[in-house]
Structure 1
Amino acid sequence: MTSDAPAAADKRPRKADGDRLSKLARHKHIISQLTAAPTLRASELAAVLGVSGETIRRDLMELQEQKLINRTYGGASRPFALEPALTDRKAIMIAEREAMAAVIADLILPNEVLMLGAGATTFHIARRLASRAHDITVITHDYAIAAALAVNPSIRVLCCPGRYHPNEGYVFGTQTIANINSYEANRAIVSATGISARGANDADDEAGAIYGAMAKRAAEAILVADHSKFDQRALTVFAHWTDIDRLVTDRQPEGALATALRAAGTEIIVAQL
């Protein structure tokens, strides 16, 4: 007996000619799904893609070798974000960083005390402050930021003590944290390796500890992160969204990240390029 009811839709991705997806297309599908969800189960991937469990295991092994995913027991997860070298970071996203730096500079008032964390984005902020701000005090643990601010004689720069990081040009450690905790500030301005629904994270736990301490010592905590940081996880979460008053970025967040920001009451400021 036949039925006039339409057949159930096949939700498995297919190529235009109706054949099952090639290995390259399967890999692209897995990566795109991990953009929407932090973890995937191998059995579900095999069912959706219409291939065997062994094929999916080989796919996941190859993607892990390319450092595009992390294999987990029974599936895959997003890889942790790694921080490129400082010189490499300073050479990318320049227009976005300049636009965000301009937004920050417009917020700062005379006689304010700021805490400014290390990073390529905050270096742009320091240069913008040096050209526009006056009669402010800046507490920082980054020597390049201190030097950029020092060209403006009306800016008082207070440098934190600590152990010097030769590759990043900042100091860190217990002395640095203790020094930060001895101050109060109007605003703390920090960047991050990545941001997600959980909050702001960093690939360096020592740097993350400093950014978290700064956020706690200021009346207002501002996180600056361009869109490439969205939905990126790293080693340590140094601040949850309830700890961050404002996010300055270059694109409007979407999905779970946007939901988390709304729930925490974090203001989003999108810089115009």
Structure 2
Amino acid sequence: MDSDRSPTADTASTERRLSRRPDGDRFSKLARHKHIISQLTAAPTLRASELAAALGVSGETIRRDLMELQEQRLINRTYGGASRPFALEPALTDRKAIMIAEREAIAAAVADLVLPNEVLMLAAGATTFHVARRLAARARDLTVVTHDYAIAAALAVNPSIRVLCCPGRYHPTEGYVFGTQTIASIDGYEANRAIVGATGIGGRGINDADDEAGAIYGAMVRRAAEAIVVADHTKFDQRALTVFAQWTEIDRLVTDRPPEGALAMALRQAGTEVVVAQP
């Protein structure tokens, strides 16, 4: 009976009707592309045969759709289907210019957790730079180990914060050092907390687009009594080159929106606390 239909079902049915071509019963190309992208948000991989059946089109049509979406860098084509594309980090100057309110809120929440006389490890990144500035404005009597020169300079305006800079090979566009010397230096310290960012976070763990940076972040996580990941909601369910830590290694995620779905489940299973800082 019509009275048994849910509003959600009615809305979905209406959207399906509107997305079809007026002269046929198949989805338009735009609607098919939107469907493929939305399905990859929920699942990391899709099979072309299942997409063709769900959309009522031929395998050849789906293959053309997948090719076009790959050319737009919206998906990665795989043998027999598609997968989510890996996240790529924009330039640091570009990252610092976006999500400012969200990052400032995250930084304020992290600064509230830090106590006087603690030793911190602070990784490179746009969000961790905001954390450094907030710590410089309100924290006292800290020791901070970092491999990022901009973070070191931001902390140095507070004379009560002792900054220890790691050695290593300089990354000219990102402004940090990396490599075996950097990791050896980190391994020589103990810290109360490690504070690291990420290119993306998902059910499998925390990842970064740069394997060298990821190695440093992972080393910091392992050398601290408590590990904190700072990431805004745009990092949710994003994949990148290297997974540098599992959620079982992370004590807190500080973000601007509550995670949902598989990510939320992974956090609960790992016992990772979620701190939501509203901008």
> Which bracket does the TM-score occupy, shorter chain normalised?
over 0.9
Match of 2:16 in 1: 14
Normalising by structure 2, we get a TM-score of: 0.93
Compute the displacement of 1:88 (Å).
0.3
SS in 2 for 1:21: coil
Match of 1:8? none
2:222 paired with 1:220: no
The structure in which a higher percent of residues are helix is: 2
- Structure 1 distance, partners of 2:179, 2:70, is 33
Q: Which residue of 2 aligns with 1:124?
A: 130
Report the alpha carbon displacement of residue 156 of structure 1 after superposing the two structures with TM: 0.2
The equivalences for 1:86-235 within 5 A come to 86-235=92-241
Aligned pairs (5 A) from 1:3-82: 14-16=16-18, 19-82=25-88
Q: Give the Cα–Cα distance (whole angstroms) in 1 for the partners of residues 129 and 104 of structure 2.
A: 10
Structure 1 residue 20, shift from structure 2 partner: 1.8
* SS of aligned partner of 1:14: helix
- 5 Å matches for 1:248-263? 248-263=254-269
Q: Which amino acid aligns with 2:68?
A: E
Structure 2 residue 247 is the aligned partner of structure 1 residue 241: yes
Runs (4 or more) in structure 1 with deviation over 2 Å come to 13-19
Contact kept in structure 2, 1:163 and 1:171, CA below 8 Å: yes
Q: CA RMSD in A?
A: 1.3
| Structure 1 residue 116 displacement after superposition | 0.1
Indicate the residue corresponding to 1:5 in structure 2: none
SS in 2 for 1:35: helix
* SS state at 2:17 partner: coil
TM-score (norm 1): 0.95
| % identical equivalent positions | 85
Task: Supply the distance in 2 between the matched residues of 1:241 and 1:33 (Cα, whole angstroms).
Answer: 25
Distance 1:102 1:188 in 2: 16
- How many residues of Structure 1 are paired with residues of Structure 2 in the alignment? 263
Q: Is 1:14–1:20's contact at 8 Å kept on the other side of the alignment?
A: no
Write out per-residue CA displacement over residues 14-61 of structure 1, whole angstroms, 9 at most, x where no aligned residue: 332673211011000000000000000000000000000000000000
**Structure 1 unmatched ranges of 5 or more:** 1-10
